[in-house]
Structure 1
Amino acid sequence: MLIARSIADLRQALTPNRRPAFVPTMGNLHEGHIALVRQAQPLGDVTVASIFVNRLQFLPHEDFDSYPRTWEADCAKLQAAGCDVLFAPREADLYPEPQTFKVHPDPRLADMLEGHFRPGFFVGVSTVVMKLFACVLGATGGVAVFGKKDYQQLMVIRHMVRQFALPIEIVAGETCRAADGLALSSRNGYLSLEERQEAVALSQALKRLAQQWLDASDRSALEAQAQDALRARGWAPDYLTVRRRADLLPATADDAAGTLVALGAARLGNTRLIDNLEF
């Protein structure tokens, strides 16, 4: 596996290739990331992953400095998975000057849910992804694989690619889960043993909400009840909600099964977890 630290080295390494398949990450890799790398491999003529902890998407009170950085383990996992090129720029390489030009996604999509509770988050995400696309896929286009666990992020990136007419195919990877149903996440490492055992309650709450939504004639109180049930277990929920997959607007009685997604975000102790379930 070739490791490129600078944009120039990356572009030189990719010169012979016409269709890179790209998986952007912030490192601290788990099996969910590796599944995306494996999914990417047959989609291009070279498989590229990136590791970059993007300061722009962290709010001032969030965990940029303490975000886990596990470089050696990450490299070993990527190499074992068959990744061809790892792009691991330093902050000064990707942001050699203050990033005053930024990508501002449509607020109708980006200012709800995660964007409501983490203002500016999707500006940071969109800006760094656009820049990574320019570095990895700028010359020829290609494929980029993103996990469904970050459901709203996937939608924001898809809309960005379409509106800027980028020659990039966005492919979604299914959420990887532990045996008990907990969605794999780098932030699961923050959980204590007791919190880890409790953490599966979020995915279970989304399953119940989805089933109740399909069964109920009056759905007006279901989301509030789902949040109250988590709150009673010691969680601090931001949202548990049912939305339309197409645009993440609130679901209505006219929306059929197979077009909906239940999304949740809640804090357990000091750790904020997110999850979703299509139904």
Structure 2
Amino acid sequence: MSTSAANLGSSSIRSSRSGFVSGSPSRPSRPGQLDPAITEQLPGGRDPQEISEMGHISAASLLDKVHHTTDPKVVERVVTLVDREGVDIVAELWSDAGPDTLPGTLWRLYLLRTWMRRQSEVISRLWRVGEPTDTAASAIAGVDAAPTAADMARTADSILSGAFTGDFAVALERAAAFCDVIAKGLQATTPSFQQASPEAQRLQAEHDGGQAGRSQAAARKTAKALMTTSKEFLKAARLWQQGKLE
């Protein structure tokens, strides 16, 4: 089991409620920050249906504001919202939304960016394993065959900013292609344990205290999550093109 897979296994893209928050309700509203009128309604055990409705409204409003701006600073504030302001309020609004909804899709894009930047060095190595030569996935995702950690960080920003400033469906297709390649890289790092006999797995677990088995299990779980997320992005892209992603 490689260090790459072990590290990623402990930081899955699917770990929820870990990447996004709005500013204080006392601040004036501006692009790249949720409307205080929405956030002020969240504390106090709001009804789940009301929270869901606010999540849809906030997602549509944020996307619309950025689509109609030519100010690069606005785009930067939206892309880096997680870095600057945390997670709790927007997680409250978006993290429970389904993958076939706009807030659920935006939530997954923000989580993907956060994960890509935090694990950029490991992910760059996994990309080289999962995509050793340029293929259609490289072209779609916009990643070279041998990317560096810095390349991965730039790609993370590019995918998310493209969702707000370019063709939303294309951004989702890029995200899907990226997830597929990293999933392949993870799978390629764990063949020996997967193919070993139960007895060999038992002996290996006894030898290393079970750490290798746990690490490989975590890597396989992350790979499966990435494949699921890829399919969710592609479905959301189709719904967007049909005008049905709300």
Tell me if TM exceeds 0.5. Answer: no
Instruction: Return the TM-score normalized by structure 1.
Output: 0.22
The structure whose RCO (Cα within 8 Å, separation 6+) is larger is 2
Instruction: Return the TM-score normalized by structure 2.
Output: 0.24
